[in-house]
């Protein structure tokens, strides 16, 4: 008694559209994170070809905070609650 339900062409188009929007959102978020943390943690004049320990630590903290804030905002918006 299994029903073979296949999405219509319109539903498939909607799904693909949602997937494209999700990908655009993720790429945009990655670009913003990269830009923000790079500008905050890396000096404008490069002295070495590799990141030093301070730059590595700064980037780790920056990325961690960026994701924490992004997740918090997403949760607040998902719950339709005003921020405290």
Q: What is the arithmetic mean of pLDDT over 5-27?
A: 89
Buried b (16+ CB within 10 A) or exposed e, 39-78: eebeeeeeeeeeeeeebeebbeebeeebeeeeeeeeeeee
pLDDT at 17: 92
- Decide if pLDDT at 2 tops 60: no
Q: What are the pLDDT digits (tens) for 30-79?
A: 999 999 999 999 988 888 889 999 999 999 999 999 999 988 988 888 87
Q: What is the pTM of this model?
A: 0.68
- Decide if pLDDT at 80 tops 60: yes
Q: What are phi and psi of 15, to 5 degrees?
A: -60, -45
């Amino acid at each position: 008694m299994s029903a073979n339900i296949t999405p219509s062409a319109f539903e498939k188009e909607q799904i693909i559209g949602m997937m494209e929007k999700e990908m655009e959102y993720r790429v945009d978020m990655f670009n913003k994170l990269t830009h923000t943390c790079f500008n905050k943690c890396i000096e404008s004049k490069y002295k070495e070809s590799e990141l030093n320990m301070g730059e590595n630590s700064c980037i780790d903290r920056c990325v961690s905070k960026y994701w924490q804030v992004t997740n918090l905002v997403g949760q607040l918006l998902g719950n339709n609650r005003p921020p405290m």
